[in-house]
């Protein structure tokens, strides 16, 4: 597994450097006073709908490390600094806030995602190696596939159905979607409590109800917005979100998380020294 991950990481980095002369060249352009080239418009299907995937003949996936809340206690505070809401302003119930603080005190080392469990809601969009959104209008379904998860996918039903009344709680819940202009709006209920709904350890209960709004304002950008309604863990409904970047040249590949998973029990931030971590078989 580690060899495959190393190869995949190398592929990702090569694609990032080759996809857009962006980082280095744009930086030089900015220093030289030249305007950065704007992104191309988002691609569309023949019927006018936004295409969230690659165009014919292209490869690409969505990648990013977006966070829902700024959290100074994160062991990766750099990745939270652009979040639209501060953790102090998230309407957590007292027990839920204590749980978030406890998870960060342990450096998020017990996250189920690292133990090959599916991650519903916002966490699915920031799994390692990227996400692909597959729109199949003939089936009236949208599939959301995360590469670095446990070889699973999420179905969004686009046929106008309602949520069933006898849902069995699951990792991804039950998702129904609709188009509002260029936005794909997804309504999801029926979650279990066996995963963390985002990378920062925010809790949820089985009463979680998500409204996700996905747009592609330009070719390179996927905008993810989510409204979280969970009276079991929060005192009010709240909204957050993040952007993902389009990485050309990559596509879905077989990633079997369960194969020789060597995620350490203890994860130390960069520069931190400590005892040798135990390894989960």
Task: Please write the tens of the pLDDT for every residue from 138-194.
Answer: 999 999 999 888 888 999 999 999 999 999 999 999 999 999 999 999 999 999 999
At residue 200, the pLDDT reads: 87
Which region, left, alpha or beta, applies to residue 190 given φ > 0 means left and ψ of -120 to 50 means alpha? Answer: left
Of 34-43, 118-127, 149-158, 235-244, which range is least confident? 34-43
Do residues 64 and 243 touch, judged by C-beta distance below 8 A?
yes
Rg (CA), the chain: 19
- 218 with 42: CB under 8 angstroms? yes
Q: Which of 101, 271, 128, 109 is nearest to 202 (CA)?
A: 101
Strand partners, 188: 175, 210
pLDDT digits 0-9 by tens, 92-121:
999 999 999 999 999 998 899 888 899 999
In which element (H, E) is residue 243 found?
strand 238-248
């Amino acid at each position: 597994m580690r060899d495959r991950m190393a190869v995949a990481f190398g592929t990702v980095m090569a694609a990032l450097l080759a996809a857009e002369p962006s980082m280095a060249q744009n930086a030089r352009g900015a220093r030289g006073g030249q305007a950065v080239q704007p992104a191309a418009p988002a691609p569309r299907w023949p019927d006018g709908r936004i295409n969230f995937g690659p165009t014919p003949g292209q490869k690409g996936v969505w990648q990013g490390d977006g966070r829902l809340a700024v959290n100074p206690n994160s062991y990766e505070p750099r990745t939270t600094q652009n979040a639209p809401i501060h953790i102090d302003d998230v309407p957590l119930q007292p027990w839920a806030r204590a749980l978030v603080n406890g998870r960060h005190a342990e450096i998020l080392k017990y996250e189920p995602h690292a133990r090959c469990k599916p991650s519903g809601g916002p966490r699915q969009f920031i799994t390692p190696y990227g996400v692909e959104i597959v729109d199949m209008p003939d089936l009236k379904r949208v599939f959301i596939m995360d590469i670095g998860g446990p070889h699973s996918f999420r179905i969004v039903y686009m046929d106008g159905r309602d949520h069933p009344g006898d849902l069995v709680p699951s990792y991804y819940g039950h998702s129904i979607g609709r188009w509002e202009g260029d936005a794909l709006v997804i309504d999801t209920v029926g979650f279990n409590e066996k995963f963390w709904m985002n990378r920062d350890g925010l809790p949820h209960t089985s009463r979680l109800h998500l409204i996700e709004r996905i747009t592609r304002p330009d070719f390179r950008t996927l905008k993810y917005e989510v409204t979280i309604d969970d009276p079991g863990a929060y005192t009010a409904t709240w909204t957050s979100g993040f952007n993902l970047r389009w990485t050309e040249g990559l596509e879905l590949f077989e990633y079997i998380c369960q194969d020789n998973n060597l995620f350490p029990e203890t994860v130390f931030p960069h520069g931190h020294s400590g005892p040798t971590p135990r390894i989960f078989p």
